[in-house]
Amino acid sequence: MSTKNSDNKSSTLSGPISRRSLLQAGGFAAALGMPIPFIEKLAPGIIPAALAQAPRDPAALKPGLTILGDRPLNMETPPHLLDEDITSGARMFVRNNGLPPILTDADIENWRLVIDGEVENPLDLSIVDLQRDFETVSLRLQIECAGNGRRFMKPAARGNQWSFGAISCAEWTGVRLRDVLLRAGLKKSALYTAHHSADTHLSGDPEKAPISRGIPIIKALEAHTLIAFGMNGTAIPALNGHPLRLVASGWPGSCSQKWLTGIEIRDRVHDGAKMTGQSYRVPAYPVAPGTVVPDTDMRIIEALPVKSLITAPQTGVRVGAGEAFDVRGAAWAGDLAVAALDISVDFGASWTRARLDPPANKYAWQRWRTELRFAQAGYYEIWARARDEAGNMQPAIPPGWNPRGYLNNMQHRIAVFVL
């Protein structure tokens, strides 16, 4: 991208202390609740230790979430905490590649979004410009990390060991990316987007982006792809992208860039950070577990596969013999709708159809529910299996090993002790 805007941290982290650095220093002091002597001596790209990462105690930020790593910070939501039709900010998983920006009120007020590259009329927009000049829409949209389920790959795959909880479905408020791109005037050469953001590389090097991914123009022009400035009727949580982010639902969550500062339109597939090599890519053909796959044989992940989750009861629940209890969950299917959700209580030997709600809108997850009772005491499992409208069905085990452990849509199951 040719123009990192002047309020972007990465453009001013070298040389004499600048206006941006002063704002950053003010943000550090505000976050700590006290002045910081010698702040002007802090080396470029380094954040005070007290602020560099969130506390290890997840209750300090998002109660009940599991911290998978603290540099960068990544937090998973246990399935039973996702028993909400609309995922709350406190329950939304966190996936970072670098260090989140620490922002002052002035930073947010002066936030800019630059649209450039293969466009006729480059744009430099404030959040107020977006709200005033384009139609505002609110949609329930699921966001899922492509590595959700990586923990169950054998042999182990590199990356955060997500189990089932790197998924959310909040109500996002913003403007359609399509409307903004049409205002900019896409050239015939426009092929792909390139996303830029205000987070910092773990090294502190302002010349390195922690992540810069993109999507094909056809996905960018879809009516449900948003530039979001709100979530669930309020501001986006800081760890989830405040004050501005993309939401490109149904595709890897890495396509939904947080702390968004720019969208460059390119005449080729974007080659930014985490777009090349093995990142968010899978082999173009089936491989045996443990196979070393050359980068040239990897393809970019686009739509995610059909998946489901049991959100109630919590695994390990104890119920009385003959006692009725509710079983609930959610299902989603990338670009598609979910057609059916079945459950099994006999380890997959037979399946029973659950009640499945339609999505609130395209790309919203679909809630499902049923009632169960077990007449005989003992140990049972409940398995859930979704099928999408194209006939694709969740497998019982990981469907195919790949070097980074992506796209595991194995069935979710929980333990039930009947007394």
The Cα 90–Cα 64 span in angstroms is 9
Please list, residue by residue across 392-401, b when 16 or more beta carbons sit within 10 angstroms of its beta carbon and e when fewer do.
bebeeebeeb
Beta-bridge partners for 143 = 168
Q: If we measure between CA atoms, which residue out of 345, 365, 349 comes closest to residue 357?
A: 365
pLDDT mean values, one per 10 residues, the chain (419 residues): 38 34 50 64 63 49 88 94 97 95 92 98 98 98 98 95 97 98 98 97 93 98 98 95 98 98 98 97 96 97 98 97 97 98 96 98 98 96 98 96 97 96
pLDDT of residue 46: 62
Q: What is the pTM of this model?
A: 0.86
The Cα 336–Cα 108 span in angstroms is 36
Q: If we measure between CA atoms, which residue out of 216, 209, 201, 231 comes closest to residue 98?
A: 201
Domains of the chain: 9-300 (3.90.420.10), 307-418 (2.60.40.650)
The Cα 267–Cα 249 span in angstroms is 23
Q: If we measure between CA atoms, which residue out of 79, 175, 84 comes closest to residue 360?
A: 84
For residue 326, the tally of other CB atoms under 10 A from its CB is 10
